[in-house]
Chain A
């Protein structure tokens, strides 16, 4: 594809994603507006509002990061990153939002993993975006038991997988493919997974793509999830 065409298709995709982000922001902003109308807000409700606003701001920030990563990759070099510490930070970022939705957030980083090549900020942003999208979606899926989301990492034959996992088969490669296919054509591309437009998943997709990584569906023990495959930093083994 000629450079000009490539540039304009990137701009169009970025505009379409911005449209999805704007659409997605209607949910947290409506939550904030309506909850503020309730009389006599409790302290817990105040905290819940703060978490909602924080997540909305993060979505905008992560969208911007994805665009900047694509346009100015030299500003965001790949570095040796500890997956465990990124997952821990992701858990911290999502904790209050998960609480809003009565979802238990678990961290599963058992095992020793070598540092991986990624941009730490970008990887954290991608995992938070996926996590926030799944937190909103999970309670609307037909399930009666206590909802759990697990931030986990494991080795696969392709590399070290880091992702966000839940007990739902809807988190599959085919759902991801369908979502990507419908991204610009439907207001609800993940029909079987998400009642909104799942902008957080596309934002994560963009961020990972800009770091030469891929958003993939994977399994972790009995759970299904979305995440990415990272390559360990072999250079560090010499140190």
Chain B
């Protein structure tokens, strides 16, 4: 059975592109959410093995999502990759909090991250089930 990824991406075109890349080898199943609320609903239906998170969302930020997500005991150990348009320099001061308390395992700057790099990063934290 494929591992489940929860992709939180507000842009519809990018979400479709990332989903296509992540499911190309049928290693992963991708659940797409356009915002924090939709993401929590989806995670509630099927627990993901990893979350890919954009920080800039409508209504609730990615950080707010992380606080909400980590408040449920069953979701506390699910790795989160931040994959965002927000450059690292803009949230450097929160990075320690994000890694130590909110369980962020990696940060990828979206404009610089190729699809191959994204897939590679996902494989690092969610090995392909054989």
A residues adjacent to B (C-beta < 8 A): 26-27, 29-31, 33-35, 37-39, 48, 52, 100-102, 136-137, 139-142, 187-188, 191-196
| Complex CA–CA separation, A139 to B35 (angstroms) | 10
Q: Which residues of B contact A48 (CB under 8 A)?
A: 13
Question: Across the interface, do A191 and B59 meet the contact criterion of CB distance under 8 Å?
Answer: yes
| Complex CA–CA separation, A137 to B18 (angstroms) | 18
Question: Across the interface, do B20 and A26 meet the contact criterion of CB distance under 8 Å?
Answer: no
| Complex CA–CA separation, A195 to B54 (angstroms) | 10
Q: Which residues of B contact A35 (CB under 8 A)?
A: 13, 17
Question: Across the interface, do A30 and B85 meet the contact criterion of CB distance under 8 Å?
Answer: yes
Q: Which residues of A contact B54 (CB under 8 A)?
A: 195
Question: Across the interface, do A27 and B58 meet the contact criterion of CB distance under 8 Å?
Answer: no
Question: Across the interface, do A195 and B58 meet the contact criterion of CB distance under 8 Å?
Answer: yes
Subset of 12 A-B contacts with CB under 8 Å: A27-B14, A30-B85, A30-B111, A37-B114, A38-B115, A100-B13, A140-B10, A142-B35, A142-B59, A192-B59, A195-B58, A196-B56
Q: Which residues of B contact A33 (CB under 8 A)?
A: 111
Question: Across the interface, do A101 and B13 meet the contact criterion of CB distance under 8 Å?
Answer: yes
Question: Across the interface, do B57 and A34 meet the contact criterion of CB distance under 8 Å?
Answer: no
Question: Across the interface, do B20 and A38 meet the contact criterion of CB distance under 8 Å?
Answer: yes
| Complex CA–CA separation, A27 to B14 (angstroms) | 9
B residues adjacent to A (C-beta < 8 A): 10-14, 17-18, 20-21, 24, 34-35, 37-38, 54, 56-59, 85-86, 90, 110-111, 114-116
Q: Which residue of B lies closest to A51 (CB)?
A: B13
| Complex CA–CA separation, A100 to B13 (angstroms) | 7
| Complex CA–CA separation, A38 to B59 (angstroms) | 31
Q: Which residue of A lies closest to B110 (CB)?
A: A30
Q: Looking at the complex, which one of B10, B17, B90 makes contact with A31 (CB distance below 8 Å)? A: B17
- Identify the 4 closest CB pairs spanning chains A and B, nearest first: A140-B10, A195-B10, A139-B12, A140-B34
| Complex CA–CA separation, A141 to B58 (angstroms) | 7
| Complex CA–CA separation, A140 to B61 (angstroms) | 13
Question: Across the interface, do B17 and A34 meet the contact criterion of CB distance under 8 Å?
Answer: yes
Residue from B21, B56, B58, B116 whose CB has the most chain A CB atoms within 10 Å: B58
| Complex CA–CA separation, A52 to B58 (angstroms) | 21
Question: Across the interface, do B21 and A187 meet the contact criterion of CB distance under 8 Å?
Answer: no
Question: Across the interface, do A37 and B116 meet the contact criterion of CB distance under 8 Å?
Answer: yes
Q: Which residue of A lies closest to B115 (CB)?
A: A37
B118 to chain A, nearest CB (A): 9
Question: Across the interface, do B17 and A26 meet the contact criterion of CB distance under 8 Å?
Answer: no
Q: Which residues of B contact A31 (CB under 8 A)?
A: 11, 13-14, 17
Question: Across the interface, do A34 and B11 meet the contact criterion of CB distance under 8 Å?
Answer: no
Residue from A35, A39, A137 whose CB has the most chain B CB atoms within 10 Å: A35
Question: Across the interface, do B115 and A30 meet the contact criterion of CB distance under 8 Å?
Answer: no
Question: Across the interface, do A136 and B86 meet the contact criterion of CB distance under 8 Å?
Answer: no
A24 to chain B, nearest CB (A): 10
Residue from A48, A142, A192, A194 whose CB has the most chain B CB atoms within 10 Å: A142
